[in-house]
Amino acid sequence: MTAVPAPLPPGSTIGILGGGQLGRMLSQAASRLGFDVVILDPEENSPAGRVSRGQIVAAYDDPTALSVFGRVCDVVTFEFENVPAASVELLAEAGALVAPGPTALAVAQDRIDEKTFLNAVGATTVAFAAVDRADDITANLDQVGLPCLLKTRRDGYDGKGQVWIRDAADVPEAWAAIGGRPAILEARAAFTRELSIIAARGRDGSVAVYPLGENHHAGGVLRTTHAPARVDAKTLKRAKAIATAVLEGLAYVGVVGIELFDLGNGKLLVNEIAPRVHNTGHWTQDGCVCDQFEQHIRAVAGWPLGPTTAHARVEMTNLLGDEIEQWSNLAARPDQRLHLYGKSEARPGRKMAHVNRVTSL
């Protein structure tokens, strides 16, 4: 049996692959716990780099940069799942302590592998089929049913890389729309709402689960999360079981976000998993004593997991593009907490900040 590494003491260095807003908020949480943080990101002066001890400016697959990064950091984690899994494997093979591990990253990066894993651990998904060419779509329409969703097998996020197929005649156009890339064909889920659950697993195997959030999207992008979501005991029990199965099935260390389709009567399907802190967990910053960012740092550093009970009700809203110009008015609201990401350019649809509106439970 492999020994569990000793908890990292304050003053240790945590490395984060990725310098965006999630890395920034992870770095801020780590600083509160007395850790130093080093970022590896190809963008100079990244949002996370500016609030950290230092940043290595290099590509995620730069072997020299990864070697230096692994040597200066006591543990390495990542802020988003599109970091090359091979880079995480290289760090682990060189002896760096990496959490979550490369297996979780690899599973989450491939939608076929992800859904195969989920069903294997009892976290049911919609029916699906692998697609390597346009003919595969047509051949699987009877199995999956219409309408169905065609998604690129890798890389897509925030509604990108996916298209609905409502008729067999749509197949050629849909295939062209995703660039003729390897894909997954997914059955439509007849769900009443989307829920998500944020959960964590420590190095000692302990599991902590936050209350569910209810999510609302526009244009494929998350706009709001209401938490704690109003759910019955049966639904909550099932969501916790799914989270535990995913965490234990991956021997996971850290925080994971799991998006769920609520079919009613306690029946849930898993849409996808994110092996990192998650946009739908931002509400925990102002609704819980220990938010998802501190929880992730605690887990990867080998500390005890923090409490997950909500002490307030929160409506989290993403600010996209030039909506950030509302910052002055939002900052003046006594019932709201504004979290800005420090990004220099407000491009249309780009996540620039979020605001948590806090009310009593």
Residue pLDDT, tens place only, 171-214: 999 999 999 999 999 999 999 999 999 999 999 999 999 999 99
In CATH terms, are 13-98 and 193-359 the same topology?
no
β strands within the chain, DSSP E = 13-17, 36-41, 54-57, 75-78, 128-131, 148-152, 162-165, 183-187, 193-201, 207-209, 213-218, 221-227, 254-264, 267-274, 313-320, 336-340, 351-359
Dist. CA 252–CA 205, nearest whole Å? 8
Residue pLDDT, tens place only, 81-139: 888 888 998 898 888 999 998 889 989 999 999 999 999 999 999 999 999 999 999 99
User: Could you say which of 3.30.470.20, 2.60.40.1730, 3.90.1300.10, 3.30.1380.20 is the CATH number of the domain covering 193-359?
Assistant: 3.30.470.20
* pLDDT reading at 306 higher than 90: yes
Cβ proximity of 137 and 171 under 8 Å: yes
- Please determine, looking at this structure, whether the domain spanning 127-187 carries the CATH number 3.10.20.740: no
Query: What is the number of residues in the chain?
Result: 361
Helices (H) and strands (E) in the chain, counts: 11, 17
Dist. CA 38–CA 321, nearest whole Å? 28
Q: Where are the domains of the chain?
A: 13-98, 127-187, 193-359
Q: According to the model, what pLDDT value does residue 1 have?
A: 41
Q: According to the model, what pLDDT value does residue 93 have?
A: 86
Q: Give me the CATH code for the 13-98 domain, please.
A: 3.40.50.20
Q: Which residue has the tokens 């890339």?
A: 181
Which residues, 6+ apart, have CB-to-CB distance to 199 below 8 Å? 207, 208, 209, 210, 240, 243, 244, 246, 247, 255, 256, 258
Residue pLDDT, tens place only, 18-38: 999 999 999 999 999 999 999
**pTM score:** 0.95
Mean of the per-residue pLDDT values of the chain = 95
Residue pLDDT, tens place only, 282-295: 999 999 999 999 99
Q: According to the model, what pLDDT value does residue 159 have?
A: 60
Q: Which of 1, 15, 3 is nearest to 297 (CA)?
A: 15
Joined tokens for residue 119: 């069903």
Joined tokens for residue 177: 């729309």
Q: According to the model, what pLDDT value does residue 251 have?
A: 96
Q: According to the model, what pLDDT value does residue 220 have?
A: 83
* pLDDT reading at 158 higher than 80: no
Residue pLDDT, tens place only, 39-67: 999 999 999 999 999 999 999 999 999 99
Report residue 157's pLDDT band, with 50, 70 and 90 as the boundaries.
low
Q: According to the model, what pLDDT value does residue 315 have?
A: 98
Q: Which residue has the tokens 């002896």?
A: 95
Dist. CA 99–CA 203, nearest whole Å? 9
